[in-house]
Amino acid sequence: MGIESADNFTADQARAVASAVLKGSGRESVLHAANPAASGDASLFTVQAAVFPEALSLRREVEITRAALLYADRVRLVSPSAAMLFVLKDLQQLPREGQMTVLELALPILNPSIGPMVRQLRGLLNQRHLAGQALLLRERLRRELSQQWEPLAQAGRRLWVDGGGRELDEAIQAGVLSIGLVAEAVEGADAIPDAFVDELAMAVKDKTATPLFDDGTSVLVREMIEANRFSLPELSARRAAKAGIASGLVGQLPTFPTSTMAQVLEVREELAKSVAPFRKAVARLAERVESRAYEADFPEEVVDLYRDEVAPAFVEIESELKRGRVAEALGTAASGAPAPIVSYVVSTVTHLPASVAAALIVGSWTAAAGATWFQRHSGREDHARQNGFYLLYGANEAWR
């Protein structure tokens, strides 16, 4: 067949197989699987993350998705590479008719000698009544092509897994990630630039979503704007800046590089109440940024924001939490049983010598005061969580 493993599967060959899948009976199921998170709900904070194609690697797609999902409700990944590999990942689940279409359209490209065999089998399958040598030939061709299909399907899955697709699978299954460009990305190498640009144009005009550009896409947008081939509406530009700042700050966290998609999904649930304060903090920071999200200086401005705003906030949060832990320890020790002591003193103080009664009253007041102090200061953790950057602090701690 010419494709025995993912190791010798070229981008053009992968695209040929993906195109064949979408031309066959697998089209609707693939398109549906790519968009489980599709929603027109304008109340959801949806990020359209655009990633410039990089061969068969999904490294940047996984990274930008992890960062965006910490603060966004949904992410739509606009990536030709992710779209193409997504089509290939579940070839083993295609029905027989879909397999035949792929074999007929793609295998002749991968291995021209297969073409006549596929066409011969297709002709035999279209005949209702076969007997003798024709029936034997049909079964032999089925077996031979089945042997060709298995390594092809395995190679498709391997490309997705080796590229980093398993992490994207987790977000898709959680219903928070969809894959765009699935149909457009497999039309051919010449169609990819136009399809990608068209998708970007749609993303920046979508009033229900926020555009987010990776480095490669930022360069593309910048060049097209300078050539008057692309325009970024002011609202989209402001949204893109906020998304760029938010994702950039997440990316600056010391523990982010080693975090996993599963950890991001878990933390976003645990820190859900801290998302809104973070978004407000980012909106405030966006007013200080002079560069557009696609301009060359933008990443450096985000680094400065992390140094000037986020790092000091972490120190404040940690200090607040430490004071809260001390308060909890003291309060627990001081408030052993204040209520029974106070009630006992109230009921018996008139029957005791003055000195003893005074001692009991003072002791009871001290215990009650300790309890009151604890109640007043045990809210320090809640107060720390209101810090606009507690989402980042909590995530960084959780990913250690």
User: What is the maximum alpha-carbon separation in the chain?
Assistant: 118
**Residue closest to 268 by CA, chosen among 356, 392, 130:** 392
How sure is the predictor about 115, in pLDDT bands with cuts at 50, 70 and 90? low
Instruction: Give, in degrees to the nearest 5, the angle at Cα 166 between 160 and 172.
Output: 105
**Residue closest to 183 by CA, chosen among 195, 173, 171:** 195
Instruction: Give, in degrees to the nearest 5, the angle at Cα 395 between 389 and 396.
Output: 90
**Residue closest to 241 by CA, chosen among 309, 306, 294, 300:** 294
Instruction: Supply the pLDDT for residue 371.
Output: 40
How sure is the predictor about 159, in pLDDT bands with cuts at 50, 70 and 90? confident
At how many degrees (to 10) do helices 311-334 and 390-398 cross?
80
Mean pLDDT of 139-158: 74
User: What is the percent of the chain where pLDDT is above 70?
Assistant: 63
**Residue closest to 302 by CA, chosen among 217, 232, 240, 259:** 240
Rounded Cα gap, residues 39 and 366, in angstroms: 58
Mean pLDDT of 242-254: 96
Per the model's pLDDT, the better-predicted residue between 9 and 393 turns out to be 393
Residue 356 has which token pair? Answer: 């003893």
Instruction: Supply the pLDDT for residue 202.
Output: 78
User: What is the percent of the chain where pLDDT is above 90?
Assistant: 35
Which own/partner pairs from 195-199 qualify as long-range (CB within 8 Å, at least 24 positions apart)?
Answer: 195/80, 196/50, 196/52, 196/53, 196/78, 196/80, 196/220, 197/224, 197/230, 199/50, 199/78
How sure is the predictor about 180, in pLDDT bands with cuts at 50, 70 and 90? confident
How sure is the predictor about 34, in pLDDT bands with cuts at 50, 70 and 90? confident
How sure is the predictor about 120, in pLDDT bands with cuts at 50, 70 and 90? low
153 half-sphere exposure, CB direction, 13 A CA radius = 17
pLDDT tens figures, 328-372: 554 544 444 444 333 333 333 444 444 444 333 344 433 344 444
